[in-house]
A and B are shown apart, each in its own frame.
Chain A
Amino acid sequence: AQKITQTQPGMFVQEKEAVTLDCTYDTSDQSYGLFWYKQPSSGEMIFLIYQGSYDEQNATEGRYSLNFQKARKSANLVISASQLGDSAMYFCAMREGPDFQKLVFGTGTRLLVSP
């Protein structure tokens, strides 16, 4: 069963606008962690933001924030004030395993920021 679902293959946004990238997850664990990574065309996966299942507040890192809705099992990434350099693939991932040893990734969303 797919554990991370990203239903938006592609998203378009104009520069300086905000955009939300969707992510839903499936787990029976009480303790888990959710991550967002950015992958530019160069291929490197760049860590953006982390949300722990017990965190009471939504995570924020600069222009990135995570809209965490535990009951809905969703962890959407919000990028405010989009920049041209934000154009990339974005992956949502969940940490799993008895030793929290691996990340399970979604299929990604390609974001294109236009001038």
Chain B
Amino acid sequence: DTGVSQNPRHKITKRGQNVTFRCDPISEHNRLYWYRQTLGQGPEFLTYFQNEAQLEKSRLLSDRFSAERPKGSFSTLEIQRTEQGDSAMYLCASSLGVGIGKDTQYFGPGTRLTVL
């Protein structure tokens, strides 16, 4: 059973550049989540999808951030005009859906972003 995969694992970019991350969820998982984790903190929720519909965006997700999940499969998270404060680990998770035994979120290995 293939787990959640994320690419790239590491990304170093210069301030002002755009970056895009990809997440491939566990197959047949309807829900996909993005979190951000900064040093010394737990992950913080950014957004989530039910199939291809983006149902909630955290206020942490400024207008420089956009996420998509075309066809309800993989998802991309794009950050435009990166800032040094965007440096963090970006984690993707997926779950079967809602309900007992279905809503456990399984995480990918994360993409570590460093903005110089």
Contacts and interface: CB of A to CB of B under 8 A. Distances in A.
Interface of A: 4, 33, 35, 37, 42-47, 50, 52, 91, 93, 95, 97, 99-108
B103 A33 contact: yes
Contacts of B106: 47
Contacts, number: 59
Chain B interface category by residue count: 20 to 34
Interface stretch (B14-22, B35-43, B65-73, B74-82): B35-43
Given A102-B33, A107-B41, A107-B42, A44 B108 contact: yes
Nearest to B41: A107
Contacts of B44: 105
Interface of B: 31, 33, 35, 40-45, 48, 55-56, 89, 91, 93, 98, 100, 103-110, 112
A100 B107 contact: no
A53 to B, nearest CB: 11
A43 B89 contact: yes
Contacts of A93: 42
Contacts of B45: 102-104
Nearest to A92: B42
B110 A102 contact: no
Given A95-B103, A102-B33, A107-B41, A43 B109 contact: yes
A102 B40 contact: no
28 contacts: A4-B42, A33-B103, A35-B104, A42-B109, A43-B109, A44-B108, A44-B109, A44-B110, A47-B104, A47-B106, A91-B42, A91-B43, A93-B42, A99-B55, A99-B56, A99-B98, A100-B98, A101-B31, A102-B33, A102-B45, A102-B48, A102-B56, A103-B45, A103-B105, A104-B45, A105-B42, A106-B42, A107-B41
Contact of A45 (B41, B56, B107): B107
